[in-house]
Each structure stands twice: as structure tokens, then as C-alpha cells.
Structure 1
Amino acid sequence: MLSEKELNRYKHPIAVPGMGVQMQEHLKKARILIIGAGGLGTPVAHYLSAAGVGVIGIADYGVILEEDLHRLLIFNMQDLRKHKAKMAASRLFSLNPWNKHYPFLIQVRPDNARQVFQGFDLIIDCSQHRATHLVVNDACILDNKPFVMGEVHNWTAWWGGFNMAPASGAPPASYRCNEFLLDDFRNFDAGAMGATHGATALLMVNEIIKYLAGVPGLAGKLHTFNYLHHQFDVQDLHSDAAKIQGVKEQGLLSADDYGLEIVPDVED
């Protein structure tokens, strides 16, 4: 139940047609883990917290660097060299103390993913790292958890809702089933725009809130954007039963199998 102060805080989103008190209470019950407190993860976390998502976990083993501040707008100069996950949780608490924000100063990897994911009902992978995507995909398939992934490369971006049953009744799609769709949207040239990360995060959060409210549109869809030429597209994700069954039979692989370089545990 929302307190009187929360009802006042959220009175404007509650007034939006189709939302109301019941949907706001549903947001409060949601438990979301965000992987990566960088240019994509921090604005996603910021707007989900502001929207009233009750529990937000933030997993990141890195520290805040000055050259990244142009796209890490929840941090300040005095935060340099501090842990991103811990400072993100602190900033989000100062924004919305009605929610719970838990920092995980870890690298998500095969030996901890399923344990970390326990207790969360939606995983959002903002790591922008293929090996981590594969670990997240396999762990979520094994534990039947829905997940969202996204990346931003220069002027282009993509994101989609995976392991979710589409409104069409088609079987849920995994990340492994759809990598062939993503190759054209990967641009590994140097450079990162703050605005493209922020814009992508806002579009993701809008669809995630709709998903939590039971509105179709996120599940089984791949959204792609070219901000330079203002070209947007949405297409259906594909489900490959053999690949999904292979994950269920093999379980999580080794870090080497994923091509994941293990980093030392963070000393707090």
C-alpha cells in the first residue's frame, strides 16, 4: 500500500489515464536488477527510481572516471574514483527515499549470476558487453526470468525484451536466438555521446514501466535507432527452440567459454 506521502509524491503519474493508484502500487512491488551503472544504466536506474519502482539493485564493479561524466549525469566531480554502484544507490536514495536501492560491487559472471538474480523479477542488462549478455541470457533462461538488454554505439542503439511471452502467443525469444539481428547495429569505433545514451534509456524505461503495468509492447520486440539520421524501427524477435533447449541442458558455462575476462573482486 502507498503511504499518504507517496500518494502525494506520485499524484501526477497516478493521474495519467491507464495508471492510477493500483498501477503505482504495482510499481512499488517491482524488484529490478540493473547491470551496469554507466551511460545507459544510470539514467535507466534514475527514472525507474523516480517512477517509484520499489526495489532496485545496481551491479557494477567499476569506478567513476571524469571522461565518463558527460553521460553519467547522476554523479558529480566529488564522486571521481568512487564505486559506481555504491554512489548510484546513494544518489537514488537522495532522489527517492521511499524505494530501496541495493549496490552490488561485483562483476556479473557465471559463478554468481543466478545467486545475484534471486529475488529480482526483472533483469536489465546495461553492461553493453557481449560476454556479459550471454551470461545474463543463460542465467535468466535457467531461472525463467524476463530480461531487457540494450546497447548504444556512437549514433546507433538497440534494445529488446527477452524471455518474455509476447502478446501474439509466440514463444519467448532469447538473446542467443537473435544475435544475427544485432551485428549491423554494433559500431565499435571510439566515441560515446551522452545524449544518445540518455535518449535510449528514457525509451527503455517507458517500455519497462508499460511492461510492469501489463501493457503489451516490450516482450519479443527489438527496437533499433539511428539518431544521426532519425531512423527508428521495431521488429519481432525470433525464438529458436534448439538454442533455448541447449542452454537448459548445458547450464551456465565457464568464463572462458563466454569469452569473459574475470576482474578481481572489488575492495570496498
Structure 2
Amino acid sequence: MALTEKEIARLKHPIAVPGMGLDVQETLKKANILVVGAGGLGCPVLQYLSLSGIGVIGIADYGVILEEDMHRQPIFQMQDLRKHKAKMASSRLWANNPWTKHYPILVQVKPANVLQLLQGFDLVIDCSQHIPTHLVVNDACVQQGVPFITGEVHNWVSWFGGFNLPDGKGGRTASYRCAAALIDSYRNYDAGALGTTHGLTGLAIVNEVIKYLAGVPGGLAGKLYKHDYLHNTIEAKQLAPDAAVLAATTLLTAEDYGLEIVPDVED
């Protein structure tokens, strides 16, 4: 998919980066990415995916904008309060970059619709920060062979990983379920949320997505990253796929996931 002259002029600085160029920028334009959740982690992910020139971004979120969350949701403005996050994110992103297609999807991701939602997307970024949703996304993506990224932010610490990605040998890297025990050790359920740590984590995720799409070796594939922003440390662990876990992965019921189903949005 060729870039227009206006896009080339707009993106001339990223294109000039060694290893990028027109070919990589056109690869980004061809990418279709589904982002689940337009909250504290989803906002910076959405902003920089769009600004990087991703061609199609789906925004799946059924929630509304609350003032108490705006310190970590910089897409939104005060006049957006109590409006739907997916709709307003799409509008705000388009205003900054009309060349990317931003599709608001005002639904809860659940077993009944997740397979349909995945259709046409090359990559899923799960920013829901919600364990039942992580599991729904994991099971559907493993079943459909779709690569995905999942992450969370807990106060000063965050983690994110690249799951079900091609391993370069004809197979797939570990799933979220394969790494569940390690991931759970990274969680910190103390109260509070910082805008800065959400922003830093979102930017780190998008940076890895760009590298993945550009074909840079290493990076996301089979990796779990832990960032401790208080002490300025980063850990990267290589994840091993668990054949038994992968073989047993199947889409379950909402009750099995412990997923509370909310009414559909009346638009």
C-alpha cells in the first residue's frame, strides 16, 4: 500500500531513521491492529500507533470517560466526560491523523463476540488490564493464530509481553497462559495509578510493535518485559511455550472466565 505524497511529507523524519525507510513505513500502513481498552494504557498505545502511521486501528471499549481517570488518558478533553471512550478516541485520533482509519467498537470483548472481533486484524494489543479479558483474548488468539500483546501497569511497575507470535521456525511463541505464574508474581494490587507509568509503558509497547512490524530480530517474540520505573530497571525474560497448555487452550464460557457480562451499549 503506497504512501501518498502528503503522508511522505508528514512522516519524513521517521522514514529517515536508519532501518526504516519507505518500505517499512508502507508496512506500517498495511497493518491492521485491534486495541482492546482505551483507558490509561490504551490511550498512549492508540496515540502512538496512530501517529506512527498504522493503517487501521480498531478500538474496542464499551466504557465512558470519567474525570478521575483523565490524568492517565490524555487523548480526552473535559468536554468528553461521560461520552464513550472508543468513540471519542476515534474522533481525537482522526483529528491528529486523518490518514489512519480509526474504528470505534463499542462492545465488551467476551466469548460470544471475540472470534468475530479478531477478523481482519494482524495483531491484538490487550490494554484492558483485566485478567478475565486477558484470558478471553489469549484463548481466541491462540485458536485463530493471531499474535497479541498483553500488559498491565501497577503503580511504579509494569509488565507486557508478546504472545503467540511467529517463532521464526514455523511455530508460535508462548501464550499468556504459558506465562501466567510468572506474570502473577509481577502484579501489585496496591491502590493508586500514575499517569506517567501508563504513558511510559504504552510507548514501550508501541516501540516494540514498530520493531516487530519492521522485522527487527528479537524484541517482542516470546518475551516478557518488566519495567520498574521507581528504580529504573528493566527485566526481559524469554518465555517457553508449554505444549500441554497450548493443546488444552479453547474458548470457554463467560462464567468459566469469571467475566461479568455488561449490557450492550445502546448507541
1:238 to partner: Cα distance: 2.0
- Secondary structure at the aligned position of 2:137 is classed as helix
String of CA shifts for 1:100-144, please: whole Å, max 9, x gaps. Answer: 000000000000001011010100000000100000000001100
CA separation of 1:170/1:118 partners in 2, compared to 1, >3 Å: closer, same or farther?
closer
Post-superposition Cα deviations, 1:147-194, rounded to whole Å, max 9, x if no partner, equal 000100111100010001335887510000001111221111210000
What is the aligned partner in structure 1 of residue 251 from structure 2?
252
1:22-47 CA-to-partner distances (Å, cap 9, x unmatched) read 11001000000000000100110100
8 Å contact kept, 1:167–1:219: no
Of residues 205, 208, 222, the one that matches 2:224 is 222
Gap runs ≥5 in structure 1: none
Secondary structure, counterpart of 1:222 in structure 2: strand
Which amino acid letter does the alignment assign opposite residue 246 of structure 2?
A: I
Q: Which sections of structure 2, spanning at least 5 residues, go unmatched?
A: none
Aligned residues: 265
Q: TM-score, normalised by structure 1?
A: 0.97
Question: Does the alignment pair 1:233 with 2:235?
Answer: yes
For 2:261, the aligned partner's letter is I
The 1:171–1:28 alpha-carbon spacing in structure 2 relative to 1, beyond 3 Å, is: closer
Letter in 1 for 2:253: S
Partner Cα distance (2:35, 2:117) in 1? 11
State the match for 2:173 in structure 1: 172
Q: Structure 2: how far apart are the matches of 1:188 and 1:61?
A: 24
Q: Which runs of 4+ in 1 moved over 4 A?
A: 167-171
Q: Secondary structure at the match of 2:35?
A: strand
Structure 2 partner of 1:53: 54
Identity of aligned residues (%): 66
Distance 1:130 1:199 in 2: 21
Instruction: State the distance in 2 between where 1:116 and 1:257 align.
Output: 20
Q: Deviations over 1:222-264 (max 9, x none)?
A: 00011112121001012100111111xxx31100101111111
Which residue does 1:98 correspond to in 2? 99
- 171-180 or 108-117, larger mean C-alpha shift: 171-180
CA distance in 1, matches of 2:126, 2:82: 23
Asked if the contact 1:63/1:80 (under 8 Å) is kept, the reply is yes
Structure 2 equivalent of residue 121 of structure 1: 122
Q: Which AA in structure 2 matches 1:60?
A: D
Q: Secondary structure at the match of 1:25?
A: helix
TM-score calculated relative to the size of structure 2: 0.97
